């Protein structure tokens, strides 16, 4: 699938935004190969956040890569972008070709098993612009992914498969929250790559 055929994809959101799920864009062998490269060669660090004056360190690990040493600020913390690895450069090119968008940075998350998740949030930092497009690549364990409208509270969920691509487009960050809910059913790790464009 390429950007010319993405219009045939159904919109996951019922209104006020566009989210396209491309499904698996990599074979099982490719997905396993990329997972291994990312797991062993990314500079993972435990995520940190400052909420209501308290400092938290998560079980989940993160990493931040980009075209230049961008600073990425969220949850009261600042991260410095690292230079792309060969595998990340490959994945960036594939995601750009599939989505029809150009990205200059990537935030990676490593969830060791199902108890590690992500609370409701939107990617609305000023450095991403007024209405950012954010993609999500999944390698490893399949996980449920949910959206919740900021006003109506309506929710929509789907399963992100190993080797799959999700693209959150216009309106999806302004009008919707998203999360990765924890689950006891998943015992294997998952790596997500969220490509985005920093506005300098």
The yes-or-no verdict on residue 1 having pLDDT over 80 is no
The pLDDT confidence band at residue 122, using thresholds 50, 70 and 90, is very high
Residue numbers of the domain that contains 161: 6-196
Question: How far apart (Å, rounded) are the C-alpha atoms in residues 107 and 121?
Answer: 15
With CA atoms as reference, report the closest residue to 160 among 121, 122, 118.
118
Position 1 in a domain: no
With CA atoms as reference, report the closest residue to 124 among 52, 178, 51.
178
Q: Which pTM was predicted?
A: 0.90
- Strands (DSSP E) found in 89-154: 105-111, 118-121, 134-140, 143-149
In the predicted model, what is the mean pLDDT of residues 109-131? 93
Position 173 in a domain: yes
**pLDDT tens profile 69-91:** 777 666 666 778 999 999 999 99
The pLDDT confidence band at residue 2, using thresholds 50, 70 and 90, is low
The confidence score (pLDDT) of residue 4 equals 42
Position 96 in a domain: yes
Chain mean pLDDT for the chain: 91
Provide the domain count of the chain.
1
In the predicted model, what is the mean pLDDT of residues 48-75? 76
Lowest model confidence (mean pLDDT) among 38-52, 146-160, 182-196 = 38-52
Question: How far apart (Å, rounded) are the C-alpha atoms in residues 65 and 62?
Answer: 10
Q: And the tokens for 193?
A: 């790559």
Position 132 in a domain: yes
The confidence score (pLDDT) of residue 58 equals 75
- Find the CATH number of the domain harbouring 153: 2.60.120.590
Position 174 in a domain: yes
In angstroms, what CA-CA distances link 172 with 14, 44, 68, 76, 198? 11, 28, 26, 23, 17
The pLDDT confidence band at residue 160, using thresholds 50, 70 and 90, is very high
């Amino acid at each position: 699938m390429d950007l010319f055929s993405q219009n045939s994809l159904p919109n996951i959101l019922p209104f006020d935004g566009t989210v396209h799920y491309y499904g698996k864009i990599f074979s099982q062998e490719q997905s396993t190969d990329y997972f291994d490269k990312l797991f062993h060669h990314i500079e993972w660090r435990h995520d940190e956040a400052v909420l209501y004056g308290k400092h938290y360190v998560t079980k989940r690990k993160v990493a931040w890569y980009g075209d230049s040493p961008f600073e990425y600020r969220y949850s009261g913390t600042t991260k410095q972008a690292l230079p792309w690895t060969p595998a990340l450069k490959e994945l960036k090119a594939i995601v750009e070709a599939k989505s029809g968008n150009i990205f200059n940075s990537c935030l990676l998350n490593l969830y060791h098993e199902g108890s590690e998740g992500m609370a409701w949030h939107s990617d609305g930092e000023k450095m991403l612009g007024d209405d950012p497009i954010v993609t999500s690549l999944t390698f490893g364990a399949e996980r449920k992914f949910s959206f919740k409208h900021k006003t109506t509270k309506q929710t929509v969920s789907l399963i992100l498969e190993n080797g799959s691509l999700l693209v959150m487009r216009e309106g999806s960050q302004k009008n919707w929250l998203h999360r990765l809910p924890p689950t006891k059913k998943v015992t294997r790790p998952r790596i997500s790559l969220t490509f985005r464009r920093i506005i300098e």
